Amino acid sequence: MKVISVNHLSKSYSVYKKEPGILGTFKSLVSRKYETVEAVKDISFNIEEGELIGFIGPNGAGKTTTLKCLSGLLYPTSGQVKVLGYTPFERKAKFLNTISLVMGQKNQLWWDLPAMDSFLLNKEMYQIPDTQFNEVIEELSKLLEVKEFLLTPVKKLSLGQRMKMELIAALIHNPKVLFLDEPTIGLDVVMQKNLRDFIREYNRKYKATIILTSHYMGDVEELCKRVIVINHGKILFDGLLSNLVKKFASYKRVSIVLEDAINPRILEGVGEIEKYFFPELVLQIKKEEANKILSKIMKEVPIADIRIEDPDVEDIIRDVFTSEKTKI
């Protein structure tokens, strides 16, 4: 079942440009210059029920703008968007009751009040029955291990605790579609893992359709089979993460434990030395010539142990962003 359908979506902004200084201020009173910025440029994709999609790109790529169009916060310049059969920008009550948007850099909780007060407000807005509300709060607070902090003022919570409370506030009404924009930003590695585990479990248990944006590739690698890569408002890749690695990993990383020290010059023309500190040697070799190069290395280098692997996904994504290609 197709839950999200995006066809030729574009979103442009008119941005005011002011010259610096007092003179620029006076000039702006008479004549203002505007520049059109295309945040999203003619993108299309479909997402099925229960999919957990990684939506990745550098700052300013168009990720958050796309999520805001999908959640109805922004009106598209052109194109068509459908979420669960609804047109998001119409902001119909039935539509709003089925989605939720969590932004890691934005707060929806009342700062001076306990999180429970914000949850009760959401309960009334979404008209959630008492029994359902109590069950959801009990379940989510246990899963996220924050039950003891429900009555603590939000400003007294740690960043990780606040992020968990933000998730609970967003999930009180059991949304079928969840937009997560940088949910783990600023969290330590332990807290990041806890939130990933929770997102995975929520997706599995409720068959929720989730779009996740993150600058932490660990989030994407652990949670998402499929990724959509966007840069400069255009989609560069849409498919399985494993296929992205195969297509863009132009080299292999060879990690060697040496039996004896060597002169690095013997490896000139074989590959690029990434690291050499006896007994550890790390090389980058061309993927298409891997078998031939490895055979040569094993003949000329005293090897105690060897490991061959693809480069880190983060490195591959960086290559995609800097590539001249605009469409795969």
Name the amino acid, one letter, at 223.
Answer: L
Sheet order of strands, 303-309 included: 272-277, 280-286, 251-258, 303-309
Higher per-residue pLDDT: 104 or 21 = 21
The pTM for the full model equals 0.79
Q: Which two tokens stand for residue 258?
A: 């040496």
pLDDT, residue 121, reads: 93
Q: What average pLDDT score do residues 155-165 get? A: 88
- Angstrom CA distances, 304 to 257, 268, 307, stand at 5, 21, 11
pLDDT, residue 83, reads: 96
| Span of 13-22, 239-248, 267-276, 311-320 with lowest mean pLDDT | 311-320
Question: What SS3 class is residue 90?
Answer: helix
Residue 287 contacts residue 245 (beta carbons within 8 Å): no
For the stretch 134-150, pLDDT in tens is 999 998 888 888 899 99
For the stretch 210-220, pLDDT in tens is 999 987 888 88
Name the amino acid, one letter, at 203.
Answer: N
pLDDT, residue 323, reads: 66
Q: Which two tokens stand for residue 90?
A: 């119409």
C-alpha angle 63-66-72 in degrees, rounded to nearest 5: 140
pLDDT, residue 69, reads: 95
User: Quick one: pLDDT band at residue 10, thresholds 50, 70, 90?
Assistant: very high
pLDDT, residue 300, reads: 82
Cα 14–chain centre separation = 26
Helices and strands (DSSP H and E) totals, the chain:
11, 13
Q: What average pLDDT score do residues 110-133 get? A: 93
Domains and CATH numbers, the chain: 2-245 (3.40.50.300), 250-309 (3.30.70.1150)
Q: Is the pLDDT of residue 190 over 90?
A: no
Instruction: Return mean pLDDT, the chain.
Output: 87
DSSP single-letter state for residue 100? E
pLDDT, residue 175, reads: 93
Cα–Cα distance for residue pair 113/279, rounded to 1 Å: 57
Calculate what percentage of the chain has a pLDDT beyond 90: 42
User: Quick one: pLDDT band at residue 326, thresholds 50, 70, 90?
Assistant: very low
pLDDT, residue 122, reads: 92
pLDDT, residue 327, reads: 47
For the stretch 55-75, pLDDT in tens is 998 888 899 999 999 999 999
Q: Is the pLDDT of residue 98 over 60?
A: yes
Calculate what percentage of the chain has a pLDDT beyond 70: 98
Q: Is the pLDDT of residue 126 over 80?
A: yes
Question: What SS3 class is residue 283?
Answer: strand
Q: Is the pLDDT of residue 39 over 50?
A: yes
pLDDT, residue 22, reads: 82
For the stretch 228-278, pLDDT in tens is 999 889 998 999 988 887 787 778 888 889 888 888 888 877 888 888 888
Residue 190 contacts residue 170 (beta carbons within 8 Å): no
Q: What average pLDDT score do residues 12-39 get? A: 82
Q: What average pLDDT score do residues 13-27 get? A: 80
pLDDT, residue 144, reads: 83
Give the DSSP H or E segment for 274: strand 272-277
